Amino acid sequence: MINGSKLDLSQTAILRPATPDDVPVLFQLIQALAEYEKLSHEVSGNPDHLKQHLFGSPSYIEAILAELKGKAVGFALFFYNYSTFLTQPGIYLEDLFVLPEYRRQGIGKALITHLAELAVSRGCGRLEWSVLDWNQPAINFYQKIGATILPDWRICRVTGPSLTALGNP
């Protein structure tokens, strides 16, 4: 399922790359993810920026939609990173989300398996992502599919006024 072709998960679920027409529903899924993670107050972006970053020049991100009976029920949004130790690119999964009523149907596993296939086909050395420490169902799922949770690493982030101050000395 590279370059726009579709991949059947079963008789009814489809994985496919997002198109410009999908941006509104993709943004709705992002908002649903933020609500699930109790972070709705953090959503400050908008569909126009999302579209620009997905399909502009340059594009910064890619997204895969999961559809069930014609309805978008989940997504994976990702981009390249780089490992200096491996001296190889990798794929960083920014978000993986399936609407709660569609979970436990193999959709999340199909999305992450698809990303692993992309990583292998693109010569990447790793697929990685973060998970909230309170999200035990996600942690259990990730461990079940073979992921290692790295206890010694912490995410560092500079945003908003701190980023502006750091970037404009």
CA distance 99 to 97: 7
The per-residue pLDDT for 11 is: 52
Q: Give the distance, in angstroms, between the CA of residue 75 and the centroid of all CA atoms in the same chain.
A: 7
Assign residue 4 a region (left: φ > 0; alpha: ψ between -120 and 50; beta: otherwise).
Answer: left
Q: Are strands 127-129 and 7-8 parallel, antiparallel or unpaired?
A: unpaired
Q: Which residues are catalytic?
A: 142
**Which run of H or of E encompasses 49?**
helix 47-55
The per-residue pLDDT for 2 is: 39
Domain ranges of the chain: 7-167
Under a CB-based contact definition with an 8 Å cutoff, are residues 112 and 94 in contact? no
**Which run of H or of E encompasses 8?**
strand 7-8
The per-residue pLDDT for 12 is: 66
The per-residue pLDDT for 78 is: 98
The per-residue pLDDT for 138 is: 92
Residues of the chain with pLDDT under 70: 1-12
The per-residue pLDDT for 8 is: 44
The per-residue pLDDT for 169 is: 85
| Check whether domain 7-167 has CATH 3.40.630.30, yes or no | yes
